[in-house]
Every structure is written in structure tokens, then in C-alpha cells.
Structure 1
């Protein structure tokens, strides 16, 4: 490390970094030529539907309960923090030394780039950030693969489990069970890194495996609880207990649908349209249009909040280390 704290990647990392830059450039082009038009067209459809129903939506928006909405943002911030903690835990299994606070800061700041149309893929930017700080590129890439896979798998599992929690159909139950088994398998691979094997850490395999599974499932439950807060802020207490449970599944599945269409930045528009469709099965009226948009805005706000908080914590931590120097 130089005097200004800049880490230069070793020569053996240059080839991997070049390939990663090519991948980023390819994704940039795909998102620009396919993702941006799709985002604009879907967003235009959503805006048009909101515009045509504006006379009904306007009084409802003015009566949104701010305290419940703020509570939803708080729960959502906790959920996003848990998600970043899960990823850093996976990274720590692939490497022996990980600065958790710095990695969580990188997670939040690079995550915001996925909202830029045609911009840098958020986990590609996260990879380059960590490589330039001296992390092993293979360990970073492996952690990102496991993180994305487990987040998506947990979303599908929680989505289908909560969507038809009372009257399970064979297909729904089969998808839920398969997703849970796949999540357990991915967690098993994530906690058994070759570099940590043989150092006594294999004795903690079951503990880490269980905590990782619970962490990803809990994230989606918290994500759903924040959605429940937003829904209650819109329509008050006019939601049944079964409706609350289904909201958790609907919010998770809509995210998964937006994620699968990877060339759309952040699933923008696609997730909201899918959420509207799922909500229409249980609700009618203004909540179908307001809740998806409110949830998206709250997520962006929560990510900005977490990014600012962890950047501040990182700066305070750096100042404390400097003050302790002789």
C-alpha cells in the first residue's frame, strides 16, 4: 500500500480484470440497446395507468399515514443491511481476512449504480472496487455468484411459500420445496471454501450453513413486512391476515421477476408491473398502483440512507485509527 492508501493490483490479476471490463462493456451495450427501451416502455405504461386513475389516486395519496411509511423504510433499511451482511459473510468464507465495514460500504455505494440506465452492472462495479483494494478476484467473483444465486432462490422460495400458504397447489409446493433445497445446496457450497478447509473451520459448517440460510430467508420476510407497512399506510386496516401473508410472497416474487430480466437496470418498471399484476389478485383500487411505486421509492431511499450511514461509519473508523497512531 502506498502512502496515499492506493493498492495496485498484482500482475496476475490484470488478465482477469481485462475480462471483467469486457463483460461490463458487453452488459452496458445490452442494457443500453434493450434495457433502456424496455424500461421506458414499461414506465410509460405505468405512468399512463396512474394518469388515467389520478382522480381516484390523489385523495388516497394525500391520506397516506406518514408514521407507517417511515416505519416501513426503517424495516427496509434493516433488511438491506442484513442482505449486505450476508454477502460479506460469504466473502469472509472465501477469504481469511475481510474488513466487514469497508465491504458493506462498497456494497451500498456500488448497488446504487444499477439504477443508471445502461450503466455499470452493480456487482461488476463492486468487484472492481474490492480488487483495487487488494481482495482476491476469484474470491470476490465466487461470493457474488453465491450472493446473487441465494438472493434469487430465497425470493422464489419465500414468494411461493407465502403466496399460497393456506391452499398449496402441487406446482406451487413443488417450486417452493425445490427452491428451499437449492438454497440449502448453495449455502453448503458457500460456506465450504477450499482456502478455509483444514483450518478447523469445518467444525462450524452447520452453524454457518444454518445462519446463512436464515439470513436470506429473514431478509425477504423483513422486505415483506416493510411492504405490509406501506400497504397499511395506504389503505389503513382494511387488509385481512391472509392478505398480509400474501403481500410478503407477492413482494418477493415481483422482485424475482424483475431480477430475472437482467438487462433491465434494477428491474425498473418490470418489477412494478409484475407487482401490480400480483396485487390485482387480492386487491382493487388505488393500492394496486400506489404500493409498487411507493415500495420502489422507499427502497431507493433506504439504500441511500444505508450508503450514507456506512460511509460515515467508515470515515469515523479511519479517523479513529489515525488518532491512535504514535
Structure 2
């Protein structure tokens, strides 16, 4: 069974990627005239510029959360240096495999003084907290989704949230750190001189930080939407819930690197009945561009800041 799963896994990823690209291509073919007819005025350009700044701020916030996770695990690391490393590695998520940003962060954390096992646990813990934050934001604005898709999807979200919140409990994390430490001991055939680091309390503050990250990302999406079309106050819960759910699926569904295609297809599917599909396609395309520019700018600014003190 394991061999069969290993052989099917690459095909599953290509199937998901092919399906999402086919869906997006079909929508673009049907509504391309609406997309190319959109024009941005001065107000729209200003909204996009603010969205770029807000999205960059969101990534800085996420870097601070990762730094705090390592500090909670009693690692002697420099917070500013880790934020810089986080920003420099974020753009690597678009490389094939979708793991190189995690590899870069583990390497940066170990160079900063963290143990290999703790650095590895930290990069696994961070996306779990991100997923919990996305589920929280989605559930807080879940009324439009529940009205359209029924309570079943809300129940599934609550169940997922409970499982994710339980998985980051100190008892689970400390056992995982201990297990990784034993694996390292067996691989290197060396004795452990001291007990592995422990998480002394529930990572509530990092979770709040990830909620802030999601809200900033949501604000960037809303500003991108506002650059093209006005938003009624009653539409805000739907947009926030749909964005958070689409972003979450882009994070967890195996497909294109960086969630490209999965996020866009989900957003179009959730919002296509309320807004014009051509409008949503334009918004998600612009938002993807804003996201990539913010990630590239964050990495570039972090590199320049390092060179300034080199």
C-alpha cells in the first residue's frame, strides 16, 4: 500500500494542478472580455499600493510569530534575524516541491542557535497555527457560507479547528520534539546530554499573531477588490470567509507551489454566484500579483538590511 501511495502521490498533485488550471482557463475563456475591460483609476492604484504594504506587513507579522515559537521552545535565537530569514525564504515556496522555504527556515534557525529538532518542529507548528487562524476567521464570518452550503460545511470546519487546536497542545508538541530527538540520537549514534526543549504553555500568543496575519492578508484582498469594484458593508462577511477558506485550501491542498490555482479556483467557486466571475477572476489575479510582489519586496528588504550591518 505504501508503494502504491508513493507512486500515486505525484499523479494526484498533477491531477489537482491540471483540474484547477482547467477550471481557471474555462472561466477566463468565458469572461475574458470583462477582465480586459477593467481599468484602474488613481483611487484603484492607491488601493493596490496600500494592499501591497499591508501584505508585506502580514509577512513581517508571520516572521515574528515564527521567532516567538522558537523562543517559546527555549531556543537562544535572535528575533530580528529570524524575521529577516523568514522574509528571505518565503518566496521559495513557489519552487517545485513547495518545501524549500521550510528547508531554508530550518537551516536559518539552526545557524541562529536552535537545535535541528526544534527548528524542524517550529516550521511544522507554524502552518498548523496558520490553519487554525484561517478556520477561526472563516467561522467568525460563516453565516453567508452556511446559508449557501448548509451546516455540514460549518460542522466540518469546527471539527477541523478542534483537531488543529488539539494538535498544537504542549503535550503533543513535547512528545513530537522528544521523538525527533530520539531519531536524531539513533541516526548520529550519540547520547543526548540534556533533555530536549519543551513547550511550557499553550502557544496562545503565536495563535493570536497568526490571526493578525490572516486579518492583514484579508485586508490586502479587500483592498485589491476595492481597487476594481466598490464593496457593500453587507458583503464583507462573505468576502472575509471566502478568502480565509480559499487561502486555507491553498495552504493544505497538494497542488501547485504556493497554492497557485487552488486559492484562485476556490475563491471563484465561493464568490462566483454573488459577484461576476470576470470580476472575481480579475481580483484574484491582481491579488496573486500583489502577494508575489510583497514576498519579493520582503526578501529584498531583509537582504538589504543584512548587508547594511554586514
Q: Which residue of structure 2 lines up, in the alignment, with residue 50 of structure 1?
A: 28
Residue by residue over 1:69-101, the C-alpha shift from the partner in whole angstroms, topping out at 9 and shown as x without a partner, is 111111111111111111111011123311222
> Does structure 1 residue 136 correspond to structure 2 residue 115?
yes
Cα distance in structure 2, aligned partners of 1:117 and 1:140: 22
Instruction: Count how many residue pairs are aligned between Structure 1 and Structure 2.
Output: 282
Residue by residue over 1:58-78, the C-alpha shift from the partner in whole angstroms, topping out at 9 and shown as x without a partner, is 221455810111111111111
Q: Which residue of structure 2 lines up, in the alignment, with residue 116 of structure 1?
A: 95
In structure 1, the gaps of 5 or more residues are 1-26, 320-326
> Does structure 1 residue 244 correspond to structure 2 residue 215?
no
Instruction: Name which of 223, 226, 233 aligns with 1:229.
Output: 223
**Structure 2-normalised TM-score?**
0.77
SS in structure 2 opposite 1:53?
helix
Q: 1:114 to 1:96 in 2, by over 3 A?
A: closer
Cα distance in structure 1, aligned partners of 2:121 and 2:266: 30
**Structure 1-normalised TM-score?**
0.74
Contact 1:224–1:249 (Cα < 8 Å) also in 2: no
Q: Which residue of structure 1 lines up, in the alignment, with residue 48 of structure 2?
A: 69
Q: Which residue of structure 1 lines up, in the alignment, with residue 184 of structure 2?
A: none
SS in structure 2 opposite 1:65?
helix
Q: Describe how 1:245-264 pairs up with structure 2 within 5 A.
A: 245-264=237-256
Q: 1:129 to 1:284 in 2, by over 3 A?
A: same
Q: Which residue of structure 1 lines up, in the alignment, with residue 286 of structure 2?
A: 294
Q: 1:234 to 1:143 in 2, by over 3 A?
A: same
Q: 1:305 to 1:242 in 2, by over 3 A?
A: same
Report the CA distance between 1:220 and its aligned residue. 1.2
Contact 2:89–2:299 (Cα < 8 Å) also in 1: no
Q: Which residue of structure 2 lines up, in the alignment, with residue 104 of structure 1?
A: 83
Cα distance in structure 2, aligned partners of 1:41 and 1:114: 21
Report the CA distance between 1:233 and its aligned residue. 0.7
In structure 2, the gaps of 5 or more residues are 1-5, 178-194
> Does structure 1 residue 89 correspond to structure 2 residue 103?
no
Report the CA distance between 1:115 and its aligned residue. 0.9
Residue by residue over 1:280-324, the C-alpha shift from the partner in whole angstroms, topping out at 9 and shown as x without a partner, is 1321242221111111111111111111112222222x34xxxxx
Cα distance in structure 2, aligned partners of 1:119 and 1:176: 25
Q: 1:300 to 1:231 in 2, by over 3 A?
A: same
Two-structure CA RMSD over aligned residues (Å)? 3.2
Q: Which residue of structure 1 lines up, in the alignment, with residue 206 of structure 2?
A: 212
Cα distance in structure 2, aligned partners of 1:225 and 1:266: 19
